[in-house]
Structure 1
Amino acid sequence: MLPTDQLLSFFAEDVPFGDITTLALVEDKVVAARVEARSDMVLAGVEECVWLFEHFGVGATVHADDGEKISAGTKILSLAGSVHAILSLERTCLNLLGRMSGIATATAAAQMLVAAVNDHVKVAGTRKTAPGLRYFDKKAIRLGGGEPHRDSLSDAFLIKDTHRALLPVAEAVRRAKAYSVYHKVECEVENLIDAVAAAEAGADIIMFDNMTPSAVHGSIAALASRGFRERVVLEVSGGITAENVQKWAGVDVDVISMGSLTHSVKYADVSLEIE
C-alpha cells in the first residue's frame, strides 16, 4: 500500500501557498504532457507519480512500468489535465522518479556485477537513507532486484559495534534470542573470534563488517571447520561500492550490503514536457 499521506506531504512542502509562477503566467486549461527518460535506467517511482497526478485530476497513461529497464528517449507517462496541476506537480514527481530510478538502476548494476562472479550472492541495501524516504528507497532497491535489508529497528535484531562495546558478543546474541523467538538475530563482527562466538551462541546471520577479504576467508574457514557454515547466513558490509563489489562477490558469502545504494544516490535523468 502506498504511503499516500507522505506523497501529499512532499507536494505540500513544494507548494505551501500555490505555484505563484504558474498562477501569474498561465491561464488554467487542459493540456497534454509527457514524462520521458533522458538516460538509460531501471524504472522506479512510476506508481507514486501516477497516484499523485491522478489524485489532482490529471489523467496518466503508463507506457513503461516500475522495474522495467528502459533506454534514453523512452516515454514513461502521457498526461492530460489542468496545466496548473501538471506544472505544480512536476518537480515533486520528477524528484521521486529520478531518485527511485537512480537507486533501482544502481542496484541492478551491482547485482549484475555480482552475478557475473557468483550467482547465489544477493546485493542488499541498508538503513542509510534520508528520514521520510526510507519506504521509497527500499522499494527502489527491490525493483532493482536487490534485498532491502531491515526496514526499521523493529524488524530484526542487528547487534552492532556499539552494542558489543557494552557486552560480549555471545551474551548479546543470547539476550536477543531470549527476547523474541520470532525475529532473526544478526551480529556484526570484526574478527574471527567474534564470528565463531556469535555462531556458537546461535546467531542466524553474521555480518563481517569492515574486514579485509582475506580476514573474511579465514573466518569462514573457521566457521566451516566447526560445522556452522550451512547454519548461518553470511553477510559482508563496509565501504562496498560499484567499483569494488565484484571483489567481494568472490568471497563465499550470501549477502553483500551496500550503503552507497541509498546514501550516495545518482538521480536518473527524467523530464516533463508540455506537448
Structure 2
Amino acid sequence: MTNVLIIFTDLDGTLIDSDTYSYQNAIPVLNTLKNNQVPVIPVTSKTRLEVETLRQSLQINDPFIVENGSGIFVPLDYNDLTLPKSNQWGDYYLHRLGCTYAEARQGLEKIATALNEPLQGFGDMSEAEICHLTGLSSDEAKQAKAREFTEPFLTPKKVTPERLNKIVQDLGYRIVVGDRFCHLIGAGAGKGKAVQWLVDSYQSARPDAKITTLGLGNSPNDLEMLEVVDSPVIVPGNKGINPGLSGKGWQVAPAPGSQGWAEAVRGVVLSPP
C-alpha cells in the first residue's frame, strides 16, 4: 500500500512570520516537499487573490482553501484529483462550502439590525482605510478586499461574543471572532469541513493509498483544521502558544513562525517510516 502525506497549513503566524511576513526559513523544506510530490495546501482566511500571489512566490501548485473554509480551489491542470468539469471558476475547479459574498453582505446588514448597532465591513471601507487598520500595502489591501464568500468586519466593542454568536447563528450564518475583526461566513463553511472534503477527494482518487495528514496552525481560528488531521502541530507565537490552543496535548513546533514550521515539517518528512 502506498503512503501519501498531505500537509495543510495556515499562513499568517504559521508558514509566514507574524512580524516580518517572511517565509524564507521555510523555503528549503518547501522545495523538499515539492521534490517528494507532497501536497502543501494553504488553509486560510485570506482571499483567492492573496493566496494566488503567495503561491506564485512559493511555487506551490497544489489546491488551496480560502476565506475560512468557504471555498476550495483546485487548478484545472491538477492531475492528483479527479473532479467534475462543472463548477469551473477561471483556471480552477471550485467547491464552495460557504455562502456568496452578496449573501455575506446581506447577513451583515441583518446582524447590524438585530444588534441595533452599525457594523463596518470591508465592503464599507476604502482600500486606504483597510491599509490604515491592517498595515497592508495598497496592493495587498486591494487583494484582501476582493472577497468572494465572506465579509470581515470590525469587532463590535459593546457586544459580547456570546450574544454576537447567537444572533449570527439564528440568522443562519457562522462567525469567526477576532480581537480586531470578525469574519462572517456561511453556515456550511469551516476549515475542518474543507480539509475533510479534500482528504476524501484525494482518497477517492487513490483508493489503494494510505493517506496521512499533517496540519499546522497558530490560533483558535485553526482549531477545526487541527482537529481533523492525523498529526496536528501548534506553531507558537513570540510569546508562546495561543491560550485558545493550550491544553490539547498536541505537538508544539520548536520556534515561532516559518522557522518552527520548517523544523516541525522536517521532523515528519525526514523521520524514518
Query: What TM-score, normalized to structure 2?
Result: 0.28
Higher CA-based Rg: 1
Query: What TM-score, normalized to structure 1?
Result: 0.28
> If each structure's helix is expressed as a fraction of its own residues, which one has the higher value?
1
